[in-house]
Structure 1
Amino acid sequence: MSHTYRSTIYACYRGYIVQAAVVNLAPLLFVIFQQQFDLSLSMIGNLIFLNFGTQLAVDAIAVRFVDKIGYRTCMVSAHFLCAAGLVALGLLPGLMEPYAGLCTAVFLYAVGGGLIEVVISPIVDLVPGDNKASAMSLLHSFYCWGQVLVVLLSTVFLSVFGHGMWVILPVLWAILPVYNGIRFMQVPLPAPVETHEKIPVRKLLVSKIFMIAMLTMLCAGAAEQAMSQWSSLFAERALGVSKVMGDLLGPCLFAVFMGIGRTIYGLRGKQINLTSALLACSILCAGSYLIVSLTRLPLLSLMGCAVCGFAVSLLWPGMLSYSAKCYPKGGTAMFGILAICGDLGCSVGPWMTGLVSENAQSSGILNWDILSGFSPEQAGLKIGLLSAIIFPAVMTIGILIMKRLRRTERGRTAAADTASESGTK
């Protein structure tokens, strides 16, 4: 059976569904973990931090060896590590101290997820084709649709078979990375950018535009995952809805709207100004955090979660595309550095939200009038999510600065070209 680059793209799409599984399955089980293993909010926050912190470390290491080892070896290994971690998530808490078992499982699949994050974007960027920004957004939309699948199928499973059968759920999800790992053994993969053609990492790191791109990637990851990781527990604890409705109206609705945003840009990207779209999404994201945390109406809060999903949809893939446009020869190292920053944000955002939530419960801030009538846990969760508004706010400022720097850089390039032509004449 012959395989084309279309098969490669499809394998990459499935790779992001695997990434969605390793990022979003555990949060659906947080309430079960709380009840069964007596975990605190800070312990749950530590699990989130371990996931993205491990991916962050893998990103940093992978930047140096991916091109030497090759895309195929990395992608196959990544998928089998994800599968091992998911199986461990179901089995290890019953075979050893539960929290240590959960941490071990998270570490395993986070290593695989980190490798996927570093390698999958440059593969799609190097596959022959036009309009790379749209292709990148469409690729990342499969993370969103993967999140929807994870939430829907997992919620149905738990509803039908009961919470006591949750241990089987991660094992079933492990089938997908095993299958896709086998597919990555077969599909054609593009060669990495030649070493002599790459922009040196040192040159990237001293560029003002790239430095701000790194900061905005951190904020993009933090803004996305602070809401995504806590929305299920927030819906149940702070808004008082059931487990099923909390999952469907929290992370599932968030993912649906994020997927819609990325798919729209993936299909219509040629007609949309990327910088303006990034700026609009950042402002909308800040507004959605205000709605979720300050409104007293549960339905409006849930709608705020959905709006946040749409708002963050373009932030991560948009910044990757913007950077690739500025530095077309950045290579795997550029995508890896940006993934490091994004994963750092994915770690810091949810961790900070959990930390602020827990600390707020023991402080006088809960006497704030708008929080009257809520339990300490409910009010703490609202304060925690409100604190995350700092990330889209910083991203808005960063995009405005990049826009100005980019305009200045183009002006200098145009002036240099004009001077060169005058000298030639």
Structure 2
Amino acid sequence: MEKRTYTYKNTTFACYRGYITQAIINNLAPLLFIIFQTSYSISYEKLGQLILINFGTQLLTDIWATKYADHVGYRKCMVAAHGLASIGLLSLGILPKIMSSPYLGMAISVFIYGIGGGLLETIVSPIIEALPNDNKGGAMSLLHSFYCWGQMAVVIISTILLKLIGDNYWFILPLLWSVFPLHNMFKFIHVPILPLVKDGKSSTLKELLSHPAFYLSMLLMICAGASELSMSQWSSMFAEQGLQVPKVIGDLLGPGLFALFMAIGRTIYGYFGERIPIKGVLLGSSALCILTYLVTIFSPNMFLALFTCSLTGFSVSLMWPGTFSLSSGVFPKGGTLMFGILAICGDIGCSVGPWLAGIISDRVKNTGEGLTIWMNRGLTFDQIGLRSGLLVATIFPSLMFIGLILLRKKKSTVRA
């Protein structure tokens, strides 16, 4: 039998599937939050802690990867990432059912696939960046669009399956989704992979940290992660409890449309990115994000609030890949270290944003404190709590807007 030849096109598709895997491990559990809360009496704060464990683990893995990934090799890291993602998803379907503490079983599972997620987000982007391509920014955005398409697929397929099999059989979902990363693991054993910095002379940590522009890039990544995840991770519960709509509608119109709008934004930039200045786009995106957050939080119209909740996906679509591309242009020799540090900052935002929103939501729900505008509208403390948490999270797109204004004044390229 003739041996199959793998090309850079196969590498690109494997990377796309890698980001779909990332979407699975980041978005499946939040779809089950209502089930976890009703079946196992898990509080908002503990649900927020699951998000924190996931992205906190990814953050720690990012730190490890920035130092050792180049020595271990991209291929070994990618094979391990997909293997751990598959094991973690299998555990999520098994451990909560057999352990005396279901929450501990969830936490262990999230920790395992969080390691895989950290490796994926640190290594996949530099693999794509290293491939021959004249439109690096567009290629990066198109790569990240597959996270969104993956998120949308997770929401739609999982919602339909839950409707068919019933909430009591939720554990079947992670078991089924575990097959996808397992399949892609074998692909990464064979596809060709190039080094990111051709002469092997990447910037050192000291060189990167010596430039004020890099600190702004780090701030942008923190804000990008928090702006995206604060809304997307709580969008299903916000739609179901905050807006009092059925779970199927809440999942499809909340995280489902959120992912669709985010995918559209990234795909458009992936094809037309050469003609659009990324700094201006990011500035406009952060302004739109502030607006969609505020309308979602304060609108008395349920359908308008759902629409702007979803439209937030479009507003945040270019924040993460755009900051990667912007930083790569400013620091052309940043290498894996730069991508790793930015991924760490992104994970800090992904962890802190939803966690902070959960803490504020619980506090308002338990104490009865809230803005007068919501008290006068007859909202329940659950509804007021969720809105209050998201209101506090509005600080992140606001900080990003300010950071971008400062970054526009910096020198466009540095030799680091």
Correspondence for 2:245: 241
The question of 1:35 aligning with 2:38 is answered: yes
Say whether the 8 Å CA contact 2:368–2:381 is kept in structure 1. Answer: no
Q: Secondary structure at the match of 1:325?
A: helix
| Helix, strand or coil at the partner of 1:241 | coil
Determine the structure 2 residue equivalent to 1:199. 203
Per-residue CA deviations over 1:112-145 (Å, capped at 9, x if unaligned) read: 0000010000000001111100000000000000
1:169-216 deviation digits (Å, cap 9, x = unpaired):
101000000000000001111124267521111110121111000011
Instruction: Give the counterpart of 2:16 among 13, 18, 26.
Output: 13
Asked if the contact 1:67–1:192 (Cα under 8 Å) also holds between the matched residues in 2, the reply is: no
CA distance in 2, matches of 1:245, 1:35: 18
1:327-374 alpha-carbon deviations (Å, 9 max, x no partner): 111110000000000011000000000011111223464251234310
Counterparts of 1:333 and 1:352 in 2: how far apart (Å)? 28
Paired residues, what number? 410
Q: Normalised by the size of structure 1, how large is the TM-score?
A: 0.95
Residue 56 (1) aligns with residue 59 (2): yes
Shift of 1:296: 1.2
Look up the SS of the partner of 1:404 in the other structure: coil
Instruction: Show the counterpart of 1:106.
Output: 110
Q: Would the aligned equivalents of 1:72 and 1:184 in 2 still touch at CA under 8 Å? A: yes
Matched, 1:329 2:333: yes
Counterparts in 2 of 1:326 and 1:338: CA distance versus 1, 3 Å: same
2:374 and 2:384 in contact (8 A); partners too: no
The 8 Å contact of residues 54 and 111 in structure 1, kept in 2 or not, is answered as yes
| Equivalent residue, structure 2, for 1:362 | 366
Name which one, 1 or 2, has greater alpha-carbon Rg: 1
Task: Say which SS state the counterpart of residue 199 (structure 1) adopts.
Answer: coil
Are residues 1:184 and 2:188 paired? yes
Distance 2:108 2:223 in 1: 27
Distance 2:89 2:343 in 1: 22
The verdict on how the C-alpha distance between 1:396 and 1:329 changes in structure 2, with shifts beyond 3 A counting, is: same
1:307 CA drift (Å)? 1.4
1:131 paired to 2:135: yes
Residue 423 of structure 1 corresponds to: none
CA–CA distance in 1 between the matches of 2:343 and 2:394? 21
Contact kept, 8 Å, 2:290 with 2:394, in 1: the verdict is yes
Partners of 2:290 and 2:375 lie apart in 1 by: 20
Whether contact under 8 Å (2:87, 2:178) holds in the other structure is yes
Q: After TM superposition, give the deviation of residue 323 of structure 1 in Å.
A: 0.3
1-side partners of 2:375 and 2:148: how far apart? 32
Other structure's SS at 1:362 match? helix
Q: Does 1:390 align with 2:389?
A: no
In the alignment, structure 2 segments of 5+ residues that lack a partner are none
1:403 aligns to 2:414 (yes or no) = no
- Please tell me the residue identity of whatever aligns with 1:200: T
Q: Does 1:214 align with 2:224?
A: no
Aligned equivalents of 2:28 and 2:372: distance in 1?
A: 34
Q: What residue in structure 1 maps to residue 300 of structure 2?
A: 296
Instruction: Give 1:253's aligned residue.
Output: 257
Name the counterpart of 2:98.
95
Please list every run of at least 4 consecutive aligned residues from structure 1 whose deviation after the TM superposition is greater than 4 angstroms.
Answer: none
2:384 to 379, 384, 396: 379
